[in-house]
């Protein structure tokens, strides 16, 4: 049905294509729901991140294989047009629900009624059966999707992206646990969905283990990466020249939302360990932190700057605001290594993007990162979050600069198997199976 990961070999395997009697058709039009983050927003700002990229890329590739996608998202500024064409066959519909500005993600559950009303209004103007399927992203959208799918008599496909129980089981120090309401909500969605899409086999296992999902409903589809954009292009030297980085520097990069979950502080502490051991490194070390505060990080937006000052490394750290995808690809090319010390990561799209650009990755061995990174070949996976362990991994690159190029080459090869076309066709297979099962249930119900 989709690509999955062979546990033993750790390799990508393509199972036989799903054969369903009677040649069921794939859906013609899908209502995609993304309540809390707009596909039009800049990833790395506020709550916008990998999920935005996921939705945009998936929708475009689905449209390319003749599945029209309409994405419903909450209006976050006044005066937005009701709908915007994102690409041929992909429409973004803005729904008014709650105040435009200053509404935290934690306050959104109270606006789900208003959001659902907006979705129903858009649907009311269409002929019956207009949407063949609902695909919701993240638990907030799942609740709207559950109601919409029931009302429209359409199947519901849901992607968790992250799960409260998994996050709470691996909480960063000082981070806020996910509320019980979210846990209850996720449990309800798991029960209601016709199909659940997991990023990795591990996530599929977690759905079954933590939420008692029916294993027959869970499909594993690896997210893709834009292989046209994230490429080694004209190389590290040219990217550094464009970004004003010294050619001979060792550049460990952090790119992502600045919040305890993503653990950028672990990189800063590891850098302090490196400089403590070898003060001469200071002359050739540049540590870019590209991203904006998000989630529980918004409470202390200056926290990371203060930590850098306290550790005595403020002179080597360069804080940069979030950037667009093209500029991000340049940061990846320019870096010696990407560092991802996250506490929880359903997939770790950034790790694949960096590798596609020819950059090795040092990452925490959590969530989907062991699928995204081949330990010892395209980077190093670190058990736990001890700065000492990250410093050790970085030292291997510092001591053997050729490792950066060798692993970088292997990384860009590895990333080629994560194209969005593969992800879209696997997702279309999941849709087809959901439509088929749903029809079967409806028939037996009426029979």
CA 24 to chain centroid: 30
Residues sharing a CB contact under 8 Å with residue 23, sequence separation 6 or more, in sequence order: none
- Residue appearing with tokens 């009302």: 151
Of residues 426, 439, 432, 424, the one with CA closest to residue 89: 424
Distance of CA 26 to the CA centre of its chain: 25
Q: Which of 74, 428, 391 is nearest to 219 (CA)?
A: 428
- DSSP character for 369? H
Binding site annotation covers 52? Answer: yes
- Cα-only R_g, the chain: 22
**CA distance linking residue 384 with residue 362, whole number of Å:** 12
333 annotated as belonging to a binding site for a ligand: yes
Task: Find where tokens 């403590």 sit.
Answer: 276
422 is in an annotated binding site: no
Q: Is 416 annotated as a binding residue?
A: no
Q: How far apart are CA 387 and CA 119, in angstroms?
A: 46
Beta bridge partners of 362: 339, 380
Does 51 carry a binding-site annotation? yes
Q: Is residue 26 part of an annotated ligand binding site?
A: no
| Six token digits for residue 446 | 């009426």
Contact, 261 vs 298, CB < 8 A? Answer: no
* CA distances (Å), origin 163, targets 18, 190, 210, 232, 351: 28, 11, 9, 33, 20
Is 138 among the annotated ligand-binding positions?
A: yes
The structure tokens listed for 107 are: 């306050």
Q: Is 257 annotated as a binding residue?
A: yes
Q: Tell me if 353 is assigned to a ligand binding site.
A: yes
Q: Is 162 annotated as a binding residue?
A: yes
Q: Is 24 annotated as a binding residue?
A: no
Q: Is 262 annotated as a binding residue?
A: yes
- Residue 57, annotated ligand binder? no
**Cα 447 to Cα 368: distance, rounded to the nearest angstrom:** 43
Asked whether residue 319 is marked as a ligand-binding residue, the answer is no
- At residue 131, φ and ψ (nearest 5 deg) are -100, 125
| 359 in a known ligand binding site | yes
How far apart (Å, rounded) are the C-alpha atoms in residues 225 and 222?
10
Is 439 marked as a binding-site residue?
no
For β-strands 133-137 and 156-159, DSSP reports them as parallel
Return the half-sphere exposure (C-beta side, CA atoms, 13 A cut-off) of residue 358: 15
Q: According to the annotation, is 22 in a ligand binding site?
A: no
Question: Which whole-number Å values give the CA distances from 120 to 15, 77, 116, 382, 394, in the listed order?
Answer: 38, 21, 6, 47, 52
Dihedral angle over CA of 51, 195, 3, 38, nearest 10 = -10
Q: Which residues are annotated as a binding site for UDP-N-acetyl-alpha-D-glucosamine?
A: 42-43, 50, 257, 262, 323, 345, 353
Q: Which residues are annotated as a binding site for Mg(2+)?
A: 332-333, 335, 359
Q: Which residues are annotated as a binding site?
A: 36, 42-43, 47-52, 105, 138, 162, 182, 257, 262, 323, 332-333, 335, 345, 353, 359
Q: Which residues are annotated as a binding site for 1D-myo-inositol 3-phosphate?
A: 36, 47-52, 105, 138, 162, 182
């Amino acid at each position: 049905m989709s690509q999955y990961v062979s546990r033993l070999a750790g390799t990508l395997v393509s199972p036989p294509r799903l054969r369903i009697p009677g040649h069921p058709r794939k859906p013609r039009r899908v209502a995609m729901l993304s309540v809390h983050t707009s596909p039009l927003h800049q990833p790395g700002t506020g709550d916008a991140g990998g999920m935005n990229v996921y939705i945009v890329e998936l929708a475009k590739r689905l449209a390319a294989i003749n599945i029209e996608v309409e994405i419903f998202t909450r209006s976050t500024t006044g005066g937005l047009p009701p709908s915007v064409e994102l690409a041929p066959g992909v429409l973004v519909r803005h729904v008014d629900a709650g105040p435009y500005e200053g509404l935290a993600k934690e306050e959104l559950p109270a606006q789900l009624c208003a959001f659902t009303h907006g979705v129903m209004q858009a649907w009311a103007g269409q002929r019956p059966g207009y949407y063949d399927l609902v695909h919701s992203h993240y638990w907030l959208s799942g609740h709207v999707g559950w109601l919409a799918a029931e009302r429209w008599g359409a199947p519901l496909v849901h992607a968790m992206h992250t799960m409260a129980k998994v996050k709470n089981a691996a909480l960063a120090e000082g981070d806020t646990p996910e509320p019980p309401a979210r846990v209850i909500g996720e449990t309800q969605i798991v029960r209601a969905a016709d199909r659940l899409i997991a990023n990795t086999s591990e996530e599929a296992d977690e759905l079954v283990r933590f939420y008692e999902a029916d294993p027959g409903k869970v499909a594993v589809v690896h997210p893709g990466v834009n292989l046209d954009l994230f490429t080694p292009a004209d190389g590290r030297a040219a990217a550094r020249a464009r970004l004003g980085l010294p050619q001979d520097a060792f550049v460990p990069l952090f790119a992502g939302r600045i919040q305890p979950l993503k653990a950028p502080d672990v990189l800063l502490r590891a850098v302090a360990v490196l400089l403590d051991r070898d003060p001469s490194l200071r002359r050739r070390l540049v540590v870019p932190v590209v991203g904006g505060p998000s989630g529980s990080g918004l409470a202390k937006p200056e926290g990371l700057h203060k930590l850098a000052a306290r550790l005595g490394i403020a002179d080597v750290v360069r804080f940069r605001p979030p950037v667009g995808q093209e500029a991000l690809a340049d940061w990846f090319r320019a870096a010696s290594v990407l560092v991802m010390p996250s506490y929880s990561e359903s997939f770790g799209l950034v790790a694949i993007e960096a590798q596609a650009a020819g950059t090795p990755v040092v990452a925490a061995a959590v969530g989907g990162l062991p699928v995204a990174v081949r330990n010892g070949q395209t980077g190093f996976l670190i058990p736990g979050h001890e700065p000492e362990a990250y410093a050790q991994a970085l030292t291997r690159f510092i001591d053997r600069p050729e490792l950066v190029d060798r692993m970088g080459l292997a990384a860009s090869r590895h990333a080629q198997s994560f194209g969005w076309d593969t992800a879209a066709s696997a997702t279309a297979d999941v849709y087809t199976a959901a439509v088929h099962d749903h029809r079967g249930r409806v028939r037996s119900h009426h029979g």
